Structure 1
């Protein structure tokens, strides 16, 4: 047993001498930063988004906190409607509560395609134009989103613009008549 103890002490002493020598000056290390992963959808940095609601016949922006601040979460907030304070302030929405599903944009295509429900197609006249404008103005707040295309059951949906009906992607310029003043 004594021999084992001696061998252990000798081994520990030998190992203690096998260390990294002390440097007199720091040496910089070359470490490459990893490439950032591409975002799957655009986000807003400050954790707040602008939602567009209606006052009279014009759009008006409301800022809301959200995390993550991306198109999906923002559409959920818009579809959920107004807070009691916003209603008390005289705002309204032309959108009925519903789930709004989207695809896009991509780096090659700055269009968000929004799949709406049959209930959305039941909106008529000025309310349908205001509902479309609310969505378009809200979604195009995000960098990289230029236009919105609407679809129902996988087919393009004609939506009203200031110039009539279209099944093509629309942008803010298509809703100048309801734009904020």
Structure 2
């Protein structure tokens, strides 16, 4: 038998052996009793148990929000720790960096009401770094990306710390994302 005649024969044999008998007339199919599970809404795109975490990194002297997928909800303290750890290898390949190392030493974050309070330790008031604005902006933009944080206050030795804003002015008042809007790029 020639090879080109073999393929249809194999296909016919496979179809005939699939175990479903042919019927000449349609018949009614009765659904099984009991409630059926509700379909999953189409808007659910994230796998169960996964959460979006926004971290603000730096590229070309601008703040760039980056969304990472994490397996569980995260606290402001954990989000700050993730930010302080810097960009992943993939983010570095996308030319993302952090202005935080050497500019801001944040020791912790607590939330009271809708305000995050960041305790800053280390370098004095003037470190001579030109990227302090970006460093503080990274923290403010990262923490205000949360639904439970509207403002961020910086403290050193229990007192408000003067923090540079995008316009170059220093503020001891709680800061918002709007204080850094001129520096924020959408990826």
Q: Give the alignment's TM-score, normalised by structure 2.
A: 0.64
1:105/1:144 contact within 8 Å kept: no
Q: Superposed, which structure 2 residues align to 1:59-70 within 5 Å?
A: 59-66=63-70, 67-70=72-75
Q: Which runs of 5+ in 2 are unaligned?
A: 1-48
Pick one of 139, 146, 150 that aligns with 2:143. Answer: 139
Distance 2:116 2:171 in 1: 16
> Post-superposition shift, 1:63?
1.7
* Root-mean-square deviation over aligned CA pairs: 2.1
Distance 2:124 2:108 in 1: 12
> Post-superposition shift, 1:94?
0.3
Q: Are 2:107 and 1:100 equivalent residues in the alignment? A: yes
> Post-superposition shift, 1:123?
4.4
Distance 1:49 1:133 in 2: 17
Q: Are 2:174 and 1:174 equivalent residues in the alignment? A: no
Match of 1:54 in 2: 58
> Post-superposition shift, 1:79?
0.5
Q: Give the alignment's TM-score, normalised by structure 1.
A: 0.66
Distance 1:113 1:157 in 2: 11
Q: Which runs of 5+ in 1 are unaligned?
A: 1-44
Distance 1:152 1:120 in 2: 10
Measured against aligned partners, the alpha-carbon deviations of 1:40-81 in whole angstroms (never above 9, x if no partner) come to xxxxx8422010000101111222233332211111100011
Measured against aligned partners, the alpha-carbon deviations of 1:101-126 in whole angstroms (never above 9, x if no partner) come to 122132xxx21110012148564453
**What is the total number of aligned residue pairs between the two structures?**
134
Match of 2:152 in 1: 148
Distance 1:60 1:102 in 2: 21
Q: Which moved more, 1:115-124 or 1:52-61?
A: 115-124
